[in-house]
Structure 1
Amino acid sequence: MIEAHDARSVRAAEEPLLARGEPLMQRASWALAGVVLRELRSRRESSDGASAGAGAGARAGLGARRAGVRGATARLLVGSGNNGGDTLFAGARLAARGVQVSAVLLDDRVHPAGLAALRAAGGRVVHASGRTVDEVARHVVAADVVLDGILGIGASGGLRGLAADVVAAVVDRLDRLGRDDLGGAVAPRPLVVAVDVPSGTGVDDGTLPPVTAARTVPTGRSVVLRADRTVTFGAAKPGLLLPPAAALAGEVEVVDLGLGLSTGRPRRDDHVERTLRPGAVRRLEPADLVRLGVVAEPSGASHKYTRGVLGVVAGTERFPGAAVLTVSGAVRTGIGMVRYLGDPSVTTAVLAARPEVVPAAGRVQAWAVGSGIPAAPSSADDPARSQRTRVRHALAQATGELSSDVVGDAVPVVVDAGALPLLPDRCPPWVVLTPHAGELAELLRSRGDQVERAEVEAEPLRWARRARDLTGATVLLKGAVTVVVGPTGAYAQADGPSWLSTAGAGDVLTGVLGSLLAAHSVDAVKDPGLPALLAASAALLHGRAAHRANPGGPVAALDVADALPGTVAELLRRRG
């Protein structure tokens, strides 16, 4: 598990260490230099190994002998704060190991001790203000590695002025590498390493703020140098996990500075672990699902009722496939029983695909409702009217509007697609909403917020939190990075391939989440933080199943459902 902490928490954790004279900048720069040296060696081993293999009579081990870093080139993009100091000190260590280091200063005020260390180690200094933006950009992209040390966690907003102009020019040249307009020969793209965070991203919320006071960048545009790897200090930052900025961070490597912040390492059945400190964001890893008991092998005493019973209200005569996909996602995740409620023709399609489904009402431990049901009647003669009536009944049970002597105790519910407009004014946290960005915008507008889909996509955490505040429900906002917000914290899961953006995939996710809620029904109602954990777990299972269905290639929604049993089995095999 990765637990990311906001800038305020990190600075608060640093203060007592700095007051005691702890050398945090030295630790950070040493680790940063170590990562860069490792990456440079790896690149040289790969290129030399390829050359040795291609050459006639090449001797084994030639690549390994040539894999030093002497003569490699590094460019440092340096801003005025401590982030620039970390970068300069790391550059000094690289220079001492034989790397040709050039620090491009984007501000007249940079860390004086870091600058002195770089110069003493033989590093070169380039003042960007004394050259044209294009000259600086050409100088930067000609390197083996580029370190982005412009802005750290103390900054807010996007890049400004000269830094914005230079980064925009660098990004443009990197995008053009390999094209004929750069002179014919294909130049290798330098490795880009972000120092703590990619400069110009929202540290705490993952937004991409626009640049300001730039000469060459249009007003309102955001500019960020996409990193291949981000080396972050003390703890991961939320913006490295949250969309849209997460897509620009590359692989994230956390350097422990001894700040005492939670690593996110869970303890089984530890309810404290389900409550995050304000500003924290988590990302589950596969082992967490078994360690936390989300996924478990049934005991010898288990039977279909103890393993969870899920009621599904999904699909209509027009969209029967949604019902098939939802029940398939639930069945293949490992639930004890699925009850399906729907019109006869849809029920026939469901049973043809999944004969183990029970087409009858009865006690359930969770509901999954809404997939494949139109959001509003298409005419006065609404063909989905009976399904909407069933959805309302399920929601009434989940929210406690029906007394327990009628239907039993309150149970969790997954609310998708056409069921979202049927929500009551307030919901308990065991009601889990699963909208995509457009559906979330529509839900927010129905409750008085004037927001469009593009705004939700630009600030998903903000608007998911807003939806949680307005409804009381737990919110799972679907996307390339799935954001889950509950009453005790947020999760950001990036587990699926881009191929997962396909019709019906969300219906399978509804079934997966419904299965997990049914299996943990009693605890999910008692523990306000558990539904969010289960929602993040469902996103993880769903994404890994998509990878398993066809590694590196296209998948259909039913392929994802069919890959779920093997995905669960793999997690259980790796437990411990």
Structure 2
Amino acid sequence: MLPAYTGTAVRAAEHPLLAQGQGGALMRQAAWGLSQHVIGLLRERGQVSGATVAALVGPGNNGGDALWALSFLRRRGVRAVAVPVAERLHDAGHAALLAAGGQVVGQVPADTAVVIDGILGTGARGPFQRPAQAQVPDGAAVVACDVPSGVDADTGTVLGDVIPADVTVTFGAVKTGLLLGAGAQAAGQVELVEIGLDPYLGTPDLQSVTAAEMLEVFGPPRWDDHKYTRGVLSVAAGSEQYPGAAVLVCRAALSAGLGMVRLAAPPTVRTLVLTAAPEVVAQSEVGGRTSAWVCGPGLGEDQDAQDRLAAVVDRAAQDGQPVVLDASALALVTLAQVRRLRAGGSAVVMTPHRGELVQLAQRLGPEAGLELGEWGDRLDTDPVSAVRELAAALDVVLVAKGPSTLVVSPEGEALVQTEGGPELATGGTGDCLAGVTGAALARAQTGSPREMAVAVAAAVRLHGTAGAQAAQDGPFGASVLPDQIRSVIATAAGSRWRR
């Protein structure tokens, strides 16, 4: 797992070391790491010695980090220039830059290859207005020092301006705000420089599933596996009005390595699905041996949809099997049904996008004891706490879909995946995610809500990676995702799959 911490938590972790008089050493260690990442960018561009690197320097410790980094770069033959955006400069960093032969100038030189954003750090709050000096020449890469200026390190909120980075080099721990919403978009590629804070950090605010952990969920079968040990997913999806949703759910689930997919759907939907994937076991009603359930994509909201949802709840609650509720099911499910599933031992996973999340909170939240109040506002300003509160109230795993997708267990453990982008903002991709999520639960088969949340986050990573790779060939529709999902797994597993 990749852990992330709020900026507040990271500053608190620094206090014991600062109290021991290690502040200067921490700054130089961070700045050295920053300089090495800048050198890596310069090498990619074909020139280190003689290249120009300019830093936009604020008056605080973030500016000090940038100044020390410039001093190290100057000793590698880089033309290192500081562009102050305030009257005061960090004393020790300023002295180090001048001693190394660096310069202080009034504006970023036109030939600058890399601009270091050292204006604001993790303690900045409130709207940021970009200074007049903070101009980035065409073609220059931007490297943020710890966090991009304008990003709230605790929440990812951007108030006012922001300086978008190609790379953010962050110190001590990855900051929560670099993985959420606008903050994640502004951060670009995030690189971590360790400075010895691990013993003081405590419990992460967020975690992200890595590629290796994704493969633990979706890796090749064991030598002695058979179709039932590989997981069987039952799907209640599709209707006369929305038949294609069932095709996407089933194909995506099969591409994720399941042993079997069962489908309960009307006759025309079954025919369509069997044409696309004849290995699906299609039937008129839910039933048969299964490991997990997906209910909702393309289900509609008529009486037939309600009956199919009720049948899934009955079976899953009876057997204690995990259930993914998506799309139509989010608008139909009652709190009584959710509680019945949980009482039967079923992990319940809900997969709303933002609009559905708000509707879910408004419809079921008050009955579950959620005080709506400013909840909707906090969904924008502090999404982690808002989603945590709703997940706890409903006693479900919530998958809050978006540019940064949050997966939150009822106990409050939060995971975030940032692999998916705007390329997934097209009809049907959510159906594919529902299929992959169901596959993850079917393959896991048992586990606590926390363990199920980790499996779900692996599904989100797989789905997002597939979308990003599909987008390399240009615009696409959701129907290409199942094959891309299969490709992502095969590439990640390498020879293990072919063995």
Hey, what does 2:96 align to over in structure 1?
Answer: 117
Percent of aligned pairs with the same amino acid: 41
Relative to 1, partners in 2 of residues 1:568 and 1:465: Cα closer, same or farther, differing over 3 Å?
same
Hey, what does 1:438 align to over in structure 2?
Answer: 355
Within-5 A mapping of 1:213-362: 222-260=160-198, 278-290=203-215, 293-360=216-283, 361-362=287-288
1:230 match: secondary structure: strand
Does 2:332 match 1:422? yes
Q: Distance in 1 between matches of 2:125 and 2:110?
A: 26
Does 2:273 match 1:366? no
Q: Distance in 1 between matches of 2:306 and 2:29?
A: 59
Hey, what does 1:193 align to over in structure 2?
Answer: 143
Within-5 A mapping of 1:523-534: 523=447, 527-534=448-455
Superposed displacement of residue 140, structure 1 = 6.1
2:293 match: secondary structure: strand
Hey, what does 1:507 align to over in structure 2?
Answer: 431
2:82 match: secondary structure: strand
Hey, what does 1:494 align to over in structure 2?
Answer: 418
* Residue in structure 1 matching 2:456, options 531, 535, 544: 535
Superposed displacement of residue 435, structure 1 = 1.0
Is the contact made by 2:375 and 2:386 (CA closer than 8 Å) also made in structure 1? no
Which segment is superposed worse, 434-443 or 7-16?
7-16
Hey, what does 1:387 align to over in structure 2?
Answer: 305
Q: Distance in 1 between matches of 2:140 and 2:244?
A: 47
2:131 match: secondary structure: helix
- AA aligned to 2:40 is R
Hey, what does 2:476 align to over in structure 1?
Answer: 555
Q: Distance in 2 between matches of 1:206 and 1:504?
A: 28
- AA aligned to 1:257 is I
Q: Distance in 2 between matches of 1:495 and 1:37?
A: 26
Is the contact made by 1:87 and 1:147 (CA closer than 8 Å) also made in structure 2? yes
Q: Deviations over 1:28-82 (max 9, x none)?
A: 1122122223322332x1xxxxxxxxxxxxxxxxxxxxx3422x33322222321
Q: Deviations over 1:377-400 (max 9, x none)?
A: 5xxxxxx321221112323554x4
Hey, what does 1:32 align to over in structure 2?
Answer: 34
Q: Deviations over 1:506-531 (max 9, x none)?
A: 101101110110111222xxx23112
Hey, what does 1:217 align to over in structure 2?
Answer: none
Relative to 1, partners in 2 of residues 1:19 and 1:397: Cα closer, same or farther, differing over 3 Å?
farther
Q: Deviations over 1:394-443 (max 9, x none)?
A: 23554x4xxx3xxxx21111111111123333554821111111111221
* Residue in structure 2 matching 1:69, options 38, 49, 53: 49
Superposed displacement of residue 7, structure 1 = 2.3
Larger radius of gyration: 1
Relative to 1, partners in 2 of residues 1:306 and 1:82: Cα closer, same or farther, differing over 3 Å?
same
- AA aligned to 1:435 is P
Is the contact made by 1:30 and 1:93 (CA closer than 8 Å) also made in structure 2? yes
Is the contact made by 1:317 and 1:346 (CA closer than 8 Å) also made in structure 2? yes
- AA aligned to 1:15 is H
Relative to 1, partners in 2 of residues 1:103 and 1:328: Cα closer, same or farther, differing over 3 Å?
same
* Residue in structure 2 matching 1:485, options 393, 408, 421: 408
Q: Distance in 2 between matches of 1:307 and 1:225?
A: 47
Relative to 1, partners in 2 of residues 1:150 and 1:575: Cα closer, same or farther, differing over 3 Å?
farther
Hey, what does 2:445 align to over in structure 1?
Answer: 521
- AA aligned to 2:44 is S
Is the contact made by 1:342 and 1:387 (CA closer than 8 Å) also made in structure 2? no
Superposed displacement of residue 333, structure 1 = 1.3
Hey, what does 1:181 align to over in structure 2?
Answer: none
Hey, what does 2:369 align to over in structure 1?
Answer: none
2:399 match: secondary structure: strand
1:346 match: secondary structure: helix
Within-5 A mapping of 1:41-60: 41-43=43-45, 45=46
Relative to 1, partners in 2 of residues 1:457 and 1:325: Cα closer, same or farther, differing over 3 Å?
farther
2:174 match: secondary structure: coil
Is the contact made by 1:416 and 1:435 (CA closer than 8 Å) also made in structure 2? yes
**What is the root-mean-square deviation in Å for CA atoms of aligned residues?**
2.8
1:515 match: secondary structure: helix
Q: Deviations over 1:106-157 (max 9, x none)?
A: 333432222222233333335xxxxxxxxx6x64666322211122122333
Q: Distance in 2 between matches of 1:199 and 1:165?
A: 8
Superposed displacement of residue 193, structure 1 = 0.9
Relative to 1, partners in 2 of residues 1:300 and 1:250: Cα closer, same or farther, differing over 3 Å?
closer
Which segment is superposed worse, 249-258 or 537-546?
537-546
Gaps of 5+ in 1: 46-66, 127-135, 175-186, 211-221, 264-276, 378-383
1:84 match: secondary structure: helix
Q: Distance in 1 between matches of 2:452 and 2:239?
A: 28
> TM-score, structure 2 length as denominator?
0.87
Hey, what does 2:486 align to over in structure 1?
Answer: 565
Q: Distance in 2 between matches of 1:414 and 1:19?
A: 49
1:492 match: secondary structure: strand
1:154 match: secondary structure: coil
Which segment is superposed worse, 15-24 or 302-311?
15-24
Is the contact made by 1:4 and 1:235 (CA closer than 8 Å) also made in structure 2? yes
Hey, what does 1:166 align to over in structure 2?
Answer: 131
The number of residues matched between the two structures is 478
Relative to 1, partners in 2 of residues 1:114 and 1:456: Cα closer, same or farther, differing over 3 Å?
same
Q: Distance in 1 between matches of 2:355 and 2:378?
A: 10
Superposed displacement of residue 278, structure 1 = 4.5
Q: Distance in 2 between matches of 1:238 and 1:485?
A: 14
Relative to 1, partners in 2 of residues 1:108 and 1:552: Cα closer, same or farther, differing over 3 Å?
same
Superposed displacement of residue 488, structure 1 = 4.7
1:147 match: secondary structure: strand
- AA aligned to 2:473 is G
Gaps of 5+ in 2: 367-371
Is the contact made by 1:313 and 1:390 (CA closer than 8 Å) also made in structure 2? yes
